[in-house]
Amino acid sequence: MVDELLFEQLFRMYYADLCRYASRYLPDKQLVEDIVQNFFIAVWEKENLTVNKENFLPYAYRSVYNRCLNYYKAELSKESFLASLLEEWDGQIEEDDDFPYKQEVREALRKLPPKCRQIFLLKCIKGLKYKEIADICGISVNTVKYHLGEAFWIMREELNGLSGCILLFMMTKALDIVV
């Protein structure tokens, strides 16, 4: 069993930091807290785990990161997850008064093949890195890049009636690129 005093110290020292770290990947505060709490429960229940202050933090960050990715992996199998990403995307577009051609962009996004749309939304809505998306989807980083390239190509074709500046504006807003 883990030393109670050490465990309590580690929990008090790192709980908030681990929650902040997990919130980079998951926007739902309750879900973040659940994941971090479940991590600490798992640490408490592991009898053969030797915990000390020197090796705990890297282990904790990696474990919480993996738990966040596992959440996405489980969610991707649900049809409702993609729908919720689309709703989140629509919400972001609606909130942005400077965002022109909202309906055209929505239609172009809906014309993307499912895998391209999924990867595009994970990148644009959740802000995940290529490697994280690859880990979640069980594909290579190059495949993620391919699908993103395909998504941008299709969207560019679908939105070709819009001016180049508008399209550039839309894509940079989608990826949070500072121009």
pLDDT digits (tens, 9 = 90+) for 25-64: 887 899 999 999 999 999 888 865 666 677 888 999 999 9
Residue 140 pLDDT = 95
- Give the orientation angle of helix 164-175 with respect to helix 141-158, to 10 degrees: 150
Q: Give the burial class of 118: count Cβ atoms within 10 A of its Cβ; 0-12 exposed, 13-18 middle, 19 or more buried.
A: buried
Residue 96's nearest CA partner among 170, 177, 179 is 170
Residue 67 pLDDT = 95
Place of tokens 């689309």: 86
Contact 133, 144 (CB under 8 A): yes
Mean pLDDT, range 137-160, rounded to an integer: 89
* 74 pLDDT more than 80: yes
* 1 pLDDT more than 60: no
* 113 pLDDT more than 70: yes
In angstroms, the CA 97 to CA 93 distance is: 8
Mean pLDDT, range 93-106, rounded to an integer: 68
* 167 pLDDT more than 60: no
* 129 pLDDT more than 80: yes
pTM: 0.68
- Domains of the chain, start order: 4-76 (1.10.1740), 79-175 (1.10.10.10)
Per the prediction, the chain carries an average pLDDT of 81
